[in-house]
Amino acid sequence: MKIVVLDGYTENPGDISWKALEDLGEVKIYDRTSYVDAPIIAERIGDAEVVVINKTPISKATIDKCPNIKTIAVLATGYNVVDYEYAKSKGITVQNVPVYGTDNVSQYAISLLMEVCSHIGHHSDSVHKGEWQNNADWCYWHYPMIEVSGKTAGIIGLGRIGYNTARILNAMNVKVLAFDTFQSEPGKQVAEYVELDELLKRSDFIFLHCPLFPATENIINKNNIAKMKDGVILINNSRGQLVVEQDLYEALESGKVAAAALDVVSTEPIKADNPLLKAKNCIITPHISWATKEARERIMNTTAENIKSVIDGNPINVVNK
């Protein structure tokens, strides 16, 4: 079994092992493959039967040039970079890793909120620059400090990650509202299900934990922002396309949205002309909510199990059945 990994560096920059894949066949690993150079993608796949990717696109044209492909294994949950319907028509399975980072992503969402409310990184940098030792007062702060306890948080999308974030917020004495088309009994134990407009109206903090579907794309837009509380805080470490970035920029500049903390943007890596790079009170990190070593090891192990299931003739975690 020939296995090619097209963009392995993000999954494994050198701190974990590829052995789980190497035990399954002949493995060729590329740290990076151009996302826009389709001929290079096809050339590197060659006669491989298993293609392992993270964000390298696999198009119809690439599939046609690589007739040996049996499965495309995605080192992530999202698989929109693959023409999975065309792959299905060619008898190629597309597999993902559906669950690996629930705790990590929830932890990161709360960390983003706490950074907005407490400005820990900023004040640590200030101390290291000498401002405290030269200060006339025994303490100082550059931004208002916000107490989280007693506030109301709205979570759009109460799946695994949203549910876990709600549990953490409950422990912090935060009232949690949730908007989701599917309501569960466990969800009712940690949040009050409401309609979207009510969530927008009542929430001090809004977390985006929903998948990217036509119904959720651009859900944070000018009209919905207008329904929010003045001074609301937005947290998004789900998908960048949930937000109309120009609308959020304008809301941050006007103060309607007091702050935003984002781990995702609409085009990644971020483009230099993204308006949020110039917005007031906007924290942006490079899509790393998922990236703990523990989570990446789970991705590796699940991907190996996915590939082995294809070899055994009983594929699992197939997204294009």
Asked if residue 45 lies in contact with residue 62, where contact means CB atoms within 8 angstroms, the answer is yes
Which residues contact residue 312 at a Cβ distance below 8 angstroms, ignoring those fewer than 6 apart? none
Please name which of 266, 294, 321, 297 lies closest in space to residue 75, comparing C-alpha atoms: 297
Tokens coding 89 = 């028509």
Structure tokens at 165: 């974030």
Tally Cβ neighbours within 10 Å of residue 24.
18
H/E stretch holding 118:
helix 102-118
Contact 74, 94 (CB under 8 A): yes
Asked if 75 contacts 56 with a C-beta cutoff of 8 angstroms, the reply is no
The one-letter amino acid at 248: L
From CA 147, how far away is CA 278, in angstroms rounded?
27
Contact assessment for residue 143 and residue 125, using Cβ atoms and an 8 Å cutoff? no
How far is it between the farthest Cα atoms of the chain? 72
List residues with catalytic annotation: 239, 268, 287
Tokens of 227: 């329904």
Structure tokens at 231: 């001074």
Closest CA to 316 of 306, 302, 308: 306
